[in-house]
Amino acid sequence: MELRQLRYFVAIAEVENFRRAGDMLKIAQPALSTQIALLEKEIGTKLFERLPRGIRLSEAGRSFLTDAKVILAKLDDARDRARSIGTGEAGPLRVAFSEVSASDDIIVESMRMFRARAPQVNLAMLPMPSRSQETALRDRQVDACFLYLRPEIYEEFSSLRLRAYKIFAAIPATHPLAKLAEIEIKDCAGEPVILMSSAATPRLYKGLMAAFAKADVIPRIAQEVIGAPQMLTLVSMGLGIGLISRAAQSRTPDGVVMRPVRDIDLCFSFDLAWHRENKSLALATLIDVVREVTPLPPPPAFRMAD
């Protein structure tokens, strides 16, 4: 059974006339009659009753017409779906992002534009820490990530630099240091300090320890946390001064102020990263959108030595 035979049959059934159907299909009536005869032979029954003046569907033909329309409609849907996926207008796209960056205007505007440009894409936004994003990207569990990319994996993935963030101090608003426009490492001497744990952000932790050592300050570490929200919550409770990427500034709770730390020369890149072997056209559309939204590229991020 050929698809063209189904289409011929539906056309004839709808007008109940071989000649008019042939005109519509631009097929000579004898050729059309031959194809329907072959179809009836394959099915094993007559689909049309031949009348002195025209034709009409047999009982079997009426049943077959219902099924044929369903089959053709599903084929049309499959064709349209495949075309949309092939052009990047549809299909799945899994994008991970770190919690601290969720409100970044680049992400917000990129997703808004992408949704408008590719409304048929099944977009899934997945919050996860940067280290987990790296694993998910490596294992092809996600298509792209908005993350703080570690220097040693730059060559493993393709990436687009979005921002470069320096380290700020999150300070309780009632603390005397909150009155300063900026602080120095030595201002933290004797103060309880809250840090991201070495397990969560090993490069940041190592860099901060080096900065303390350079300033000849022994940090009084009050607590280590695994995420920016936890750190900012503890700072708002007055439990210490947090050292964190400036990216967290947009999520600063009441009672907390952010101040630059003059002598911490660390800068971390915030990137859109993707597996270089991923050829998804939906991903390509996302990358194009992010490029449009991203301002002029910032200078390269500082890379800490191992």
User: Residue 55 corresponds to which amino acid?
Assistant: I
Sorted by where each starts, the structural domains of the chain and their CATH numbers stand as: 3-86 (1.10.10.10), 90-162+275-293 (3.40.190.10), 164-267 (3.40.190.10)
Q: What's the confidence (pLDDT) of residue 264? A: 86
CB 210 within 8 A of CB 167: no
3-state helix, strand, coil in the chain (%, to 5): 45, 25, 30
Tell me how crowded residue 256 is: count the other CB atoms within 10 A of its CB: 24
Report the 3 state secondary structure along 175-224. CHHHHCCCECHHHHCCCEEEEECCCCCHHHHHHHHHHHHHCCCCCEEEEE
- Beta-bridge partner residues of 36: none
The pLDDT tens digits of the residues spanning 229-243 come to 889 999 999 999 999
The token pair at 304 is 């800490």
The token pair at 251 is 């999520």
The pLDDT tens digits of the residues spanning 70-124 come to 888 888 766 766 665 565 555 689 999 887 677 778 889 999 999 998 888 889 9
The token pair at 242 is 């947090």
